């Protein structure tokens, strides 16, 4: 498998430190609000990477933190009259709702910064002891120039950074490029005791400390958004490697940004959407599908039209799954002897309510194998997690399945040949196998089903009696309930759609 490594700016063959095992860390959200779609992209794509690695047989230990202490956390919790913990708890709970909806599996560990204060302090102490950090008035700064490799991830050099600095430099720092590891307490701020007095950790140090705490000194994959390359990830490398003397992470993966209606998403333009906003109109899975239909490193645009197109595309996938399930359900009704011999397939009594299925040996499509799609899927996903191609493989599979079913129906009138349950089952299995790697087709129906089935039975009775008025009345009624019917040769198929 190849992964694009920001360190080398090339695709590299992925080789984990320990065969069969992958340790990965991804920067999680600062929990001061619902997360927005820009946050959602790394969550979704790196969840997909994690799923894929597991699919390929790796045992993955995945750590994603919650940043629950920073300026915004302090300010917003205060505005709400909540303690820092109460405030964090609230938005972590909201995170889980959205994450679950988006099909993001929980990481192996979700550490909170405030629960790793001892580890953070220990790491800072090590850096001070090794001469990579210094204390001034209760603040502790990292001495950037003391770390030789600084800039190797972002490919910036210190001179450029210094000349390009656009912010006011804290005069107390020895060097403009130094950054805070520990911040002394200001009045009324939450604080923890430390060798430098009461204070709180800086942002960058928490990830170094938690990654080390849960994954060890060197991890396989570290990921996050493009904008984290500098300074966040660059600083993480400096802190971790200055302390341990070992490489921090071997593969650095960064996802591209999301634009809104072709404009940069930003607070100042007031054009950012939370996931919670979007799901008012589109299902969670539409968002996931949309994100995965482009390569994770490409910038993507976000708009209503694009989401609508994604919804329609995803529906096609669901249609195939539901159709296969429907046909399989009908197939179960066939007496075993019939499907064994295929001889009585023309029996009117059987055709009445069930699908006719020929024996496995009499059908040409029987010999076909869907494993070619699995091979193609793996080949494209092995190439830097090309989910856009992965989705394309899914659609090719769907067309293949649909075509076989359609053609066998045509044959059915003359030769009673239709796709056998065995093939349908195989098709459904491969469809679900590949979809689940992408975290798609996870949606299931609800309790509405019983009521709907009853109405459909009533309508079928009316149709049998050629009571079209009654039949249409029931169909309209179902339509009002959001249920659409399809009269197929195998019976009535229904779907609760188009959803969102």
Partner RNA sequence: GGUGCCAUAGCCAAGUGGUAAGGCCAGGGUCUGCAAAACCCUCAUCCCCCAGUUCAAAUCUGGGUGGCACCUCCA
In the range 459-488, which residues lie near RNA by CB under 7 A?
Answer: 463, 468, 471-472, 475, 484-488
Residue 61 and residue 25: Cα distance in Å, rounded? 8
Is residue 243 involved in binding RNA (CB under 7 A)?
no
Beta-sheet pairing, 258-260 with 133-136:
unpaired
Nearer to RNA, 242 or 405 (CB): 405
Residue 458 and residue 476: Cα distance in Å, rounded? 13
Q: Tokens 């992958």 map to which residue?
A: 22
In the range 351-380, which residues lie near RNA by CB under 7 A?
Answer: 380
Query: To the nearest whole angstrom, how small is the minimum distance from the Cβ of residue 245 to RNA?
Result: 26
Q: Rg for the chain (alpha carbons), in Å?
A: 28
Is residue 403 involved in binding RNA (CB under 7 A)?
yes
Is residue 82 involved in binding RNA (CB under 7 A)?
no
Among 86, 308, 333, 453, the residue binding RNA under the rule CB under 7 A is 308
Among 107, 215, 258, 419, the residue binding RNA under the rule CB under 7 A is 258
Query: To the nearest whole angstrom, how small is the minimum distance from the Cβ of residue 473 to RNA?
Result: 10
Nearer to RNA, 331 or 398 (CB): 398
Residue 102 and residue 94: Cα distance in Å, rounded? 13
In the range 3-62, which residues lie near RNA by CB under 7 A?
Answer: 9, 27, 29-30, 36, 38-39, 41-42
103, 288 Cβ separation under 8 angstroms: yes
Overall size of the chain counted in residues: 500
In the range 416-445, which residues lie near RNA by CB under 7 A?
Answer: none
Among 191, 309, 350, 351, the residue binding RNA under the rule CB under 7 A is 309
Query: To the nearest whole angstrom, how small is the minimum distance from the Cβ of residue 440 to RNA?
Result: 13
In the range 102-161, which residues lie near RNA by CB under 7 A?
Answer: 154-156, 160-161
Query: To the nearest whole angstrom, how small is the minimum distance from the Cβ of residue 302 to RNA?
Result: 9
Query: To the nearest whole angstrom, how small is the minimum distance from the Cβ of residue 392 to RNA?
Result: 3
3-state secondary structure labels for all residues of 22-55? EEEEECCCECCCCCEHHHHHHHHHHHHHHHHHHH
Using the contact rule CB under 7 A, the part of the chain among 125-133, 220-228, 345-353, 446-454 near RNA is 220-228
Residue 214 and residue 250: Cα distance in Å, rounded? 16
Using the contact rule CB under 7 A, the part of the chain among 293-301, 361-369, 418-426, 432-440 near RNA is 293-301
SS3 17: coil
SS3 480: helix
Nearer to RNA, 159 or 340 (CB): 159
284, 500 Cβ separation under 8 angstroms: no
Among 189, 382, 383, 415, the residue binding RNA under the rule CB under 7 A is 383
Among 208, 386, 408, 435, the residue binding RNA under the rule CB under 7 A is 386
Is residue 319 involved in binding RNA (CB under 7 A)?
yes
Which residues 6+ apart lie within 8 Å of 394 measured at CB? 317, 377, 431, 434, 435, 438, 440
Nearer to RNA, 17 or 395 (CB): 395
Which residues 6+ apart lie within 8 Å of 178 measured at CB? 141, 142, 143, 144
Nearer to RNA, 366 or 382 (CB): 382
Q: How many residues bind RNA (CB under 7 A)?
A: 84
Nearest to 289 by CA among 372, 396, 395: 395
What is the sign of the dihedral through the CA atoms of 310, 265, 274 and 93? positive
Among 121, 184, 237, 300, the residue binding RNA under the rule CB under 7 A is 300
Nearer to RNA, 56 or 152 (CB): 152
Nearer to RNA, 184 or 401 (CB): 401
Query: To the nearest whole angstrom, how small is the minimum distance from the Cβ of residue 403 to RNA?
Result: 4
In the range 267-286, which residues lie near RNA by CB under 7 A?
Answer: 267
Nearer to RNA, 149 or 489 (CB): 489
Query: To the nearest whole angstrom, how small is the minimum distance from the Cβ of residue 208 to RNA?
Result: 13
Geometric angle at alpha carbon 213, from 38 and 199, rounded to 5°: 75
Query: To the nearest whole angstrom, how small is the minimum distance from the Cβ of residue 319 to RNA?
Result: 4
What is the sign of the dihedral through the CA atoms of 120, 69, 272 and 292? positive
- List, in sequence order, every residue forming a beta bridge with 58; answer none if it has no partner: none
Q: Is the bond leading into 231 cis (omega within 30 degrees of zero)?
A: yes
Is residue 320 involved in binding RNA (CB under 7 A)?
yes
Using the contact rule CB under 7 A, the part of the chain among 109-117, 296-304, 327-335, 361-369 near RNA is 296-304
In the range 155-194, which residues lie near RNA by CB under 7 A?
Answer: 155-156, 160-161, 164-167
> How is residue 369 written in tokens?
């194998």
142, 235 Cβ separation under 8 angstroms: yes
Query: To the nearest whole angstrom, how small is the minimum distance from the Cβ of residue 59 to RNA?
Result: 26
Site string for RNA, 324-343 (x = CB under 7 A): --------------------
Residue 475 and residue 449: Cα distance in Å, rounded? 15
Residue 469 and residue 481: Cα distance in Å, rounded? 19
Query: To the nearest whole angstrom, how small is the minimum distance from the Cβ of residue 445 to RNA?
Result: 15
- 387: exposed, middle or buried (C-beta count within 10 Å: 0-12, 13-18, 19+)? buried
Nearer to RNA, 355 or 398 (CB): 398
């Amino acid at each position: 498998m190849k992964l694009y490594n920001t360190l080398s700016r090339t695709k590299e063959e992925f080789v984990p430190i320990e065969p069969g095992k992958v340790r990965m860390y991804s920067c999680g959200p600062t929990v001061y609000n619902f997360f927005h779609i820009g946050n959602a992209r790394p969550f979704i794509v790196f969840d997909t990477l994690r799923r894929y690695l597991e699919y390929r047989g790796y045992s993955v230990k995945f750590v994603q933190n919650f940043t629950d202490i920073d300026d915004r956390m302090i300010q917003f919790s205060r505005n709400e009259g909540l303690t820092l913990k109460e405030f964090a708890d609230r938005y972590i709970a909201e995170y889980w709702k959205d994450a679950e909806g988006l099909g993001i599996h929980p990481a192996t560990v979700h550490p909170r910064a405030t629960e790793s204060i001892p580890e953070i302090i220990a790491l800072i102490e090590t850096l001070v002891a090794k001469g990579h950090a210094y204390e001034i008035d209760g603040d502790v700064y990292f001495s950037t120039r003391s770390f030789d490799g600084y800039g190797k991830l972002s490919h910036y050099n210190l001179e450029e950074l210094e000349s390009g600095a656009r912010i006011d430099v804290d005069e107390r720092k020895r060097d403009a490029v130094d950054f805070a590891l520990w911040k002394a307490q200001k009045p009324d701020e939450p604080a923890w005791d430390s060798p430098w007095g009461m204070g709180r950790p800086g942002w960058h140090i928490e990830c170094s400390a938690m990654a080390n705490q849960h994954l060890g000194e060197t991890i396989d994959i570290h990921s996050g958004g493009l904008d984290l390359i500098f300074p966040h990830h660059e600083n993480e490398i400096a802190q971790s490697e200055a302390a341990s003397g070992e490489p921090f992470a071997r593969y650095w993966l960064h996802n591209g940004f999301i634009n809104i209606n072709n404009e940069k998403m930003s607070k100042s333009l007031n054009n950012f959407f939370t996931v919670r906003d979007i799901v008012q109109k589109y299902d969670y899975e539409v968002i996931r599908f949309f994100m995965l239909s482009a390569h994770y490193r490409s910038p993507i645009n976000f708009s209503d039209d694009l989401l609508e197109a994604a919804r329609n595309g995803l529906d096609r996938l669901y249609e195939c799954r539901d159709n296969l399930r429907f046909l399989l359900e009908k197939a179960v009704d066939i007496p075993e002897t019939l499907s064994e011999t295929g001889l009585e397939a023309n029996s009117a009594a059987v055709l009445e309510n069930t699908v006719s299925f020929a024996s496995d040996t009499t059908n040409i499509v029987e010999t076909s194998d869907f494993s070619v799609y699995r091979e193609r899927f793996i080949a494209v996903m092995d190439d830097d997690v090309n989910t856009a191609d992965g989705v394309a493989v899914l659609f090719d599979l769907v067309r293949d399945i649909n075509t076989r079913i359609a053609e066998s129906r045509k044959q059915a009138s003359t030769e009673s040949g239709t796709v056998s349950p065995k093939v349908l089952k195989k098709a459904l299995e491969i469809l679900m196998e590949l979809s689940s790697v992408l975290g798609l087709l996870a949606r299931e129906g609800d309790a509405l089903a019983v009521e709907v089935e009853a109405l459909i039975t009533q309508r079928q009775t009316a149709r049998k009696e050629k009571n079209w008025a009654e039949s249409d009345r029931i169909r309209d009624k179902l339509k009002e309930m959001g249920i659409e019917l399809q009269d197929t040769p195998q019976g009535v198929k229904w779907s609760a759609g188009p959803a969102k």
